[in-house]
Structure 1
Amino acid sequence: MSDGRDGLPPGIDAFDYLGTMVLVVDEVGRCRFANAAFEEVVGASRRSVQGVSLYDWFVDRPTMRDVVAGVMQKAYATSRVHAELKRHPHVTAGDPLPVQVIVTHLNHGDLILVELVEVEQQTRQEREERVLDQAQANKELIRNLAHEIKNPLGGIRGAAQLLEMDLESPSLTEYTQVIIHEADRLQLLVDRLLAPHRRPHVVSDVNIHEVCERVRSLILAEFPKGIRVQRDYDTSLPDFRGDREQLIQTVLNIAHNAAQALVDRMASGDALLIFRTRVARRVTINRQLHRLALVLHIEDNGPGIPESIRDRIFYPLVSGRDGGSGLGLTLAQTFVQQHQGTIECESEPGRTVFRILLPLL
């Protein structure tokens, strides 16, 4: 009995392990194979896809037909084109998905390999790589700078203490006290910069909703009036292995920043903070494909992050608030990356969303 894969290359099932969508079509454009990623994205089973014309899945049918024909006739070995992929109506209202299409002739009969890469996914992966590189550079810079500061700082403080012992005038000791206090303040700042890299990673079973509830209670205790903390949880999310205290600190740092930005709205009684959890399937995080991932959105209806620092909010010592240390989001990013996850932010006036993505499987 045939399973519909007669004439296909051996080992074709390996395409199911890819995070990108893959189709194999014949010389007239009929789909002979669709991998699991394609099923997931378009919202259709591979059984329903087999035998259907490839061109029916695209908004611009003629362009796709010309590209496949060119590769089939060996006018070129590989062709790339941007296109819009149709999806089942139950998937995000059926809106077409912008993709980059890579068409290649297979050395196996008259078959064509069609790879579809989501433009948004490709952009996100490139952004993740930049963030990882920048975070690593920041980490090395902080470590080196902190150690360079600590040694002379101790000497300055010690010299001020010795000088104070020899001073007879109380008015002059005020100046040495200023030196000592400022040296202590800088020492505390250096310790906070180094803390994320010194603290051990304590792993246990973590429930993300328990983390959110803990943060929610802390926010409402500090800001009891004028703010509503809304929960939108996917209760099917499983527990996962992680450092509970680090994750609480991560969510608290983001939520606390949001609450502080909502002070004006609190006065008018319409401040809103939302914790939203979802599950994502077949997600690429930090260049690795994961079958299952947790998505946590922390959203507020505040004024938004100033555009001048929007691209630098995860850098150390960058703050959009007077008196802010600029370490909260840096710490949050460090803890998320220690969980092999990513953190992103989108902001505009009236809506700011931090998106934390953590692998589950």
Structure 2
Amino acid sequence: MVEQIHYKHILDRLVTAVILVDTHLKLSYLNSAAEVLLCVSGDQVLGRKISDCFEELDGDQNQLASAIANNNPYTKRHAKWRLHNNNEITVDYSVDPSADGNSLVIEVQPLDRLIRISKDEAMLSAQETSRNLIRSMAHEIKNPLGGIRGAAQLLGREFGESDLSEYTRIIIDETDRLRDLVDRMLGPRIPAERKPVNVHDVLEHVASVIDVEAGHTVHIQRDYDPSIPNLIGDRGQLIQSLLNISRNALQALMESNTPSPQIKLTTRIQRRFTIGRHHHPLVARVEICDNGPGIPPALISNIFFPMITGRAEGTGLGLAITQNLISQHGGLVECQSEPGKTEFTLYLPLDEHYAEA
């Protein structure tokens, strides 16, 4: 009995999920990592069929039974499991029959987090490359624009009030418009002012602006976690970031004439979260969700890049600026969309030493 308690104590400290099933494929043991992975409590599922906890998608459902009957160990990579709560996870797992043939040991390594980190790193790298390219192009564009504008002003003085002055005015107005567009692409030039910020105060300010702009026709639902501490950041930049996303949601709802339009604001604490190559013990997760028509699939993977927009009159800069501002806070923005539900999720570190860096 002492050996068994010690054995379970060791397995419960592993980060690898370990599942033990008998010859009837009934659960006889799950360590703590397995309980977390499968979203179950061991006390509730022990003695039940393993299929009550999960099923493998596109896999041989009899492979486990064959492994124990034929003493045949095997390993699978990037397998898709559907859990009892209908969530899907991606895992690597190994199956090893015991020496006495009375049980199977299943070791499971979840991959969703690693896949997400790899995807986020690639996205952040691509966006940084895009920003550097834009900065280089912007400076090359602004220099001749200044010369064109100056030349047009000199010509305007020569023409006086003649009919030709209208042409120089158009040249000046258009160069100003292009200069403003380039400035927007470059993002804010004022350094961020780092101070303690209550994320709910920021969200309430955004909600008030959106409510007024919508003429009180959109239901704004709130689901806040009041335990979230202040984060260190620039309040104005955070408001601008969330406002860009919320305005996009509002425009999508209005243009599609969505019945019972709704925008939902949600905050939660996320523990042990990795952004790029930085691991954070605690981050604030902010979700902005609307029930509009959704983002076209052809755009969803590129919406954070400049000049990408699904609206004829859009500039495609709002989300690019948002991602840039959140990146300056050490955070990340993600998006998931389908007809009837578009959700933007912002992750903002709460560890002050990183936010102040």
Q: TM-score range by the shorter chain?
A: 0.7 to 0.9
Corresponding residue to 1:175 among 167, 175, 178: 167
2:227 equivalent to 1:227: no
Report if aligned partners of 2:262, 2:291 keep a CA contact under 8 Å in 1. Answer: yes
Q: CA deviation at 1:357?
A: 2.1
* More displaced stretch, 59-68 vs 205-214: 59-68
Judged with a 3 Å threshold, the aligned counterparts in structure 2 of structure 1 residues 285 and 65 are, in CA distance, closer, same or farther, namely: farther
What secondary structure sits across from 1:262 in the alignment? helix
Report if aligned partners of 2:155, 2:168 keep a CA contact under 8 Å in 1. Answer: yes
The CA deviation string for residues 184-224 of structure 1, in whole angstroms up to 9 with x for no partner, is: 1111111112234x332322222221111010111122222
Match of 2:107 in 1: 114
2:158 equivalent to 1:166: yes
Corresponding residue to 1:344 among 299, 324, 334: 334
RMSD (Å), alpha carbons:
3.8
Q: Distance in 2 between matches of 1:62 and 1:285?
A: 39
Corresponding residue to 1:252 among 235, 243, 247: 243
Q: CA deviation at 1:103?
A: 3.5
Match of 1:186 in 2: 178
Report if aligned partners of 1:83, 1:101 keep a CA contact under 8 Å in 2. Answer: no
> What TM-score do the two structures reach when normalised by structure 1?
0.76
Judged with a 3 Å threshold, the aligned counterparts in structure 2 of structure 1 residues 227 and 47 are, in CA distance, closer, same or farther, namely: closer
The CA deviation string for residues 143-190 of structure 1, in whole angstroms up to 9 with x for no partner, is: 011011011111111111122222256111111111111111111111
Q: Distance in 2 between matches of 1:64 and 1:338?
A: 48
Judged with a 3 Å threshold, the aligned counterparts in structure 2 of structure 1 residues 85 and 313 are, in CA distance, closer, same or farther, namely: closer
Match of 1:154 in 2: 146
Q: Which runs of 5 or more residues in structure 1 are unaligned?
A: 88-93, 106-110
Equivalent position amino acid for 1:302 in 2: G
Q: Distance in 1 between matches of 2:180 and 2:66?
A: 65
What secondary structure sits across from 2:314 in the alignment? coil
> What TM-score do the two structures reach when normalised by structure 2?
0.77
Match of 2:99 in 1: none
Match of 1:208 in 2: 199
What secondary structure sits across from 1:353 in the alignment? strand
Match of 2:63 in 1: 63
Corresponding residue to 2:36 among 40, 55, 62: 40
Equivalent position amino acid for 1:213 in 2: E
Equivalent position amino acid for 2:284 in 1: L
Equivalent position amino acid for 2:324 in 1: T
Aligned residues: percent identity?
A: 38
Q: Distance in 1 between matches of 2:310 and 2:324?
A: 19
Equivalent position amino acid for 2:89 in 1: P
Report if aligned partners of 1:341, 1:359 keep a CA contact under 8 Å in 2. Answer: yes
What secondary structure sits across from 2:89 in the alignment? strand
Match of 2:354 in 1: none
Equivalent position amino acid for 1:352 in 2: T
How many residues end up aligned between the 2 structures? 337
Report if aligned partners of 2:198, 2:229 keep a CA contact under 8 Å in 1. Answer: yes
What secondary structure sits across from 2:164 in the alignment? helix
2:343 equivalent to 1:353: yes
Corresponding residue to 2:286 among 293, 296, 300: 296
Q: Distance in 2 between matches of 1:140 and 1:216?
A: 33
